[in-house]
Amino acid sequence: MITINKKRMLTEFFELVKTNSPTKDERTVADMLIERLRNLGMTVTEDNAGQMIGGNCGNIIANLKGTLPMAPIVLFSAHMDTVQPCLNIEPVLNDGLITAAGQTILGADDKSGIAPILEALRTLQEQAIPHGDIQVVFSVAEEGGLNGSKNIDKTKLIADLGYVLDSGGKPGNIIIGAPGQDRINITIKGKAAHAGVEPESGINAIVVAAQAISRLKTGRIDEETTSNIGTIQGGRVTNIVADRVEVTCETRSRSLGKLERLTAQMCEVFNYCAEEAGAISEIEVIRLYDPLNIAKESKIATLSVQAVKSAGLTAEFGVTGGGSDANNFNRYGVPCVVLGTGMQKYHTTDESIEEEDLYQSAKLLLEIIRAVAQIDKREISSFTD
């Protein structure tokens, strides 16, 4: 019977959330994790993603040799960075619920993913559970565009399947669908003129942008598609017709075709309104990540359900409106689903997690390891089949 050292795990979770790790400043927590992974006998490397994105730390990639050489290699991943306000977090446990004491987030997103991975690895070794090779990726800069996994050294990804611990919902919640996202940066260049003397000689870039925005459908487009106008900046003073405005937008969809069509439509509207007014539009589209779509009937999905049930949990498939590193790992050829860790109200100062969910996540990972260990990878062509 698998048992989790709850006291050790809770202590480690508190240590993790109290360690500052804002996006692109994950160095301190990364050094802590490197030491702990090496103490577990893992081979640990750090890639140069940090240099590529202007951070102080790269993705941490660790490998553990298994006792069953023919079992598939399984990946477990979580991200190290946390959203603001995340400095000097003080976690508090009250009646089984963990929250932050002050006006900060808790950092369960995503340290409630890191702690179960570490505890599962320790338990695996202490209880001599047979297992195949295991790969761990602790990524940087996941918040704000999956920039760590986007710039990961793909040659180091050797896993046959993977699990990203980075979602709300109880342990047992299996995310098999997530949107892709485009970021759209738009610059409208009008013509300056004195707003009181000769306004008709100017072309107001703010008005052009407003006309374009008024023609767009935003928010919920359909059950798998959304769009949003995020920021708008422009103009200098009230007595000058604004000759420049910058707008940032995003589109998301679990359907790649819908994502591409919605992005194209948004660009077309801004271009049309600019041309109609005699202004100039400059548009940059950045694909942040592609959609994630895993079939319920696929081997990785059915294997996940098997492990959830073995852990005594309730399996539930779900989809989400946000991306995770799993979007990129799937694109790189490592089939991944996302696991719920129990984090609640993440990205807010009301963030919390139930203590028991931490322990259940660790138990689930051990059941996943045991389920994967029963498979001969020579008999599996693809876990997405």
DSSP secondary structure string for all residues of 22-82:
BTT--HHHHHHHHHHHHHTT-EEEE-SHHHHHT-S---EEEEE--S-TTSPPEEEEEE--B
Q: Is 142 noted as a catalytic residue in this protein?
A: yes
DSSP secondary structure string for all residues of 99-122:
EESSSS---HHHHHHHHHHHHHHH
Return the C-alpha torsion angle 69, 71, 73, 75, nearest 10.
Answer: -130
CA 343, distance to chain mean position in Å, is 14
DSSP H/E element including 372: helix 355-373
Q: Is 160 noted as a catalytic residue in this protein?
A: no
Are the C-beta atoms of residues 185 and 284 closer than 8 Å to each other?
yes
Sign of CA dihedral 278, 279, 285, 291: negative
- Catalytic residue from among 12, 142, 166, 325: 142
- Catalytic residue from among 12, 26, 46, 81: 81
Sheet containing 219-222, strands listed edge to edge, beginning at the edge strand earlier in sequence: 219-222, 225-234, 244-253, 180-189, 280-289
Q: Count each helix (H run) and each strand (E run) in the chain, helices first.
A: 10, 17
- The strand pair at 74-79 and 134-139 is best described as parallel
Sign of CA dihedral 128, 134, 140, 141: negative
* Adjacent-strand bridge partners of 316: 173
CA distances from residue 295 to 160, 207, 291, 336 in whole angstroms, order as listed: 17, 45, 13, 11
Q: By C-alpha distance, which of 89, 105, 171 is closest to 357?
A: 171
Measured from the Cβ of residue 382, the count of other Cβ atoms closer than 10 Å reads 12
**Catalytically active residues, by annotation:** 81, 142
